[in-house]
């Protein structure tokens, strides 16, 4: 099983000892998805809403930590967009099973409703 949350991340450089042009660039960041039912598997519930980042300032800080930039005074994450949950069929099936086993946690009537509520239509299944 393999899955990752994929984000577009915009960074701004503001060095004190040099000039840069452009001072802003974008990159793709993938965060591995935890196995459903294990610690961290609710990342989508805690961080996303309808296919968008739920709390962007908090997520920018998370992105800086994941990218090793938390202490970099001259580099800042200025924008983050959720792109997709990139997954294989086995992971998606396991995710659906874990959601179904505790549907009340998500305040929803179906697994599909949960997936739409948090991931929007941004689930990309790959072989």
DSSP codes, 6-74: EEEEEEEE--SS---SSSEEEEEEEEEPPPTTSTTTTHHHHHEETTEESSHHHHHHHHHHHTT-TT-TT
pLDDT digits over 6-26, tens only?
999 999 999 989 999 999 999
Residue segments in the chain with a per-residue pLDDT below the cut of 50: none
pTM of the model: 0.92
């Amino acid at each position: 099983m393999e899955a990752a949350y994929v984000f577009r991340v915009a960074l701004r450089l503001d060095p004190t000892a040099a000039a840069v042009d452009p001072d802003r660039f974008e990159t793709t960041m993938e965060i591995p998805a935890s196995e459903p039912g294990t610690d961290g598997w609710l990342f989508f519930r805690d961080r996303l809403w309808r296919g968008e980042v739920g709390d962007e300032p908090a997520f920018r800080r998370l992105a800086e930590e994941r990218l090793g930039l938390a202490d970099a005074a001259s580099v800042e994450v200025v924008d983050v967009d959720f792109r997709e949950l990139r997954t294989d069929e086995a992971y998606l099936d396991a995710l659906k099973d874990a959601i179904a086993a505790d549907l009340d946690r998500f305040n929803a009537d179906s697994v599909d409703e949960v997936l739409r509520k948090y991931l929007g239509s941004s689930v990309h299944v790959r072989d």
